[in-house]
Amino acid sequence: MTPRVSFIVPVRNDAVRLAKCLDSIRANTCAPGDIEIVVVDNGSIDGSTEVARSFGARVQAVHNGRVSALRNQGARQAAGDVLAFVDADHEIASGWVAAALETLDLDGAGAAGALCRAPADGTWVQRAYGHLRGRARGRHDVEWLGSGNMAVWRRTFDAVGGFDTSLETCEDVDLCYRIRSTGLRVVSDDRLDNVHHGDPRTLRELFKSELWRGRDNLRVSFRGPMSWQGLPSAVIPVVDAVMVGIAPAGLLAAWAGWRPGLAIAATASGVILGAAALKVIRAVVRNRSFRPVDMLQTFVVACVYDLGRALALVTRVPHRGARPSAAPATS
């Protein structure tokens, strides 16, 4: 028998994009009863719950909860053999469910998903951010998948205890690490195509987003065995944070008359810019895009990204959240 798939969709004041998300999920329906949708609402006041019900979704209310708690709540209410975690600002391809089930049927597979794509009509910041993130290509094992575009066997999710609700961010990385620690595979398949309409649209949004997203990065990175592939994401923010402190200190020392201060500030700045440049080189090679304008835009976005991730280690900011829709969306 074909496994039943339960979609878990957390939302807060995002009615318009939620309608697009649920519409894309409904386009995957293979037969009546094959798919159920559980929308977990985090105190929305913009009509998100009405949108969810108009698509036949079950609605669960959680007030002031972390996204990890919302997803766990949805999973507890779901009846499916497969839990599909898709966020409200995502839109999945019409063949997503079929591809997810086929990938999960691979020997030893515990979770399946793919990197999401930037919206086709997005801003230059969203396009450059997409270049840095990369594109899913083919099918292969990975260390982790984003929880906005991931399917997990219910038995696997329950066995590892679901998402860690003590984490505000990086809960998807932690979940995948625990799945892999049981000997199961985490598999990326580019057929699980997903557009993320919530990618930051401006440099300001990007900076604020990474200030929030990076807060639990180190905590999760050092929970399990560190791989060479995952090492840069843990080390670069720490190095950048130190350099961000050294650079202005060097300038102040130079202003006070200490000549080496200027060289120290320049070196610290060079380290920060060099780390961003390495990301751009990797993106250029991976995306096979060598247009100067793409490289420049990606470099600027990489610098802002790295700065946000570095400062996330020493500060705490709330999630930028979704703006309430002007009016409730309808199906």
Residues 127-162 pLDDT 10s:
999 999 988 899 999 999 999 999 999 999 999 999
Is the pLDDT at 179 greater than 70? The verdict is yes
HSE-CB at 14 with a 13 A cutoff on CA atoms is: 22
Q: Is residue 174 part of a domain?
A: yes
Q: Is residue 234 part of a domain?
A: yes
| 8 Å CB contact between 140 and 103 | no
Residues 6-60 pLDDT 10s:
999 999 999 999 999 999 999 986 654 589 999 999 999 999 999 999 999 999 9
Q: Torsion over CA of 264, 307, 127 and 295, rounded to 10 degrees?
A: 10
Q: Look at residues 124, 115, 127 and name the one whose alpha carbon lies nearest to residue 90.
A: 115
d(CA 146, CA 149): 6
pLDDT above 70 covers a percentage of the chain that reads: 92
Q: Where are the alpha helices (DSSP H) in the chain?
A: 15-26, 48-54, 67-77, 96-104, 124-133, 154-160, 171-181, 203-213, 217-221, 231-255, 260-287, 292-311
> Domain check: are 91 and 63 in the same one?
yes
Contacts of 249 (CB under 8 A, 6+ apart): 261, 264, 265
> Domain check: are 211 and 193 in the same one?
no
Q: Is residue 187 part of a domain?
A: yes
Domain count along the chain: 2
Determine the pLDDT at residue 208.
94
> Domain check: are 182 and 221 in the same one?
no
- Identify the domain containing residue 113 by its residue range: 5-199
> Domain check: are 211 and 170 in the same one?
no
> Domain check: are 217 and 184 in the same one?
no
Question: Which has the minimum average pLDDT: 6-10, 97-101, 134-138, 259-263?
Answer: 134-138
Q: Is residue 331 part of a domain?
A: no
HSE-CB at 32 with a 13 A cutoff on CA atoms is: 0
> Domain check: are 177 and 307 in the same one?
no
Last residue of a domain, which of 153, 179, 199? Answer: 199
> Domain check: are 175 and 221 in the same one?
no
Does the pTM of the predicted model rise above 0.85? yes
Q: Is residue 330 part of a domain?
A: no
Last residue of a domain, which of 151, 180, 199? Answer: 199
Residues 188-240 pLDDT 10s:
999 999 999 999 999 999 999 999 988 888 888 877 666 667 777 888 999 99
> Domain check: are 115 and 220 in the same one?
no
> Domain check: are 61 and 154 in the same one?
yes
> Domain check: are 53 and 169 in the same one?
yes
> Domain check: are 183 and 252 in the same one?
no
Last residue of a domain, which of 155, 180, 199? Answer: 199
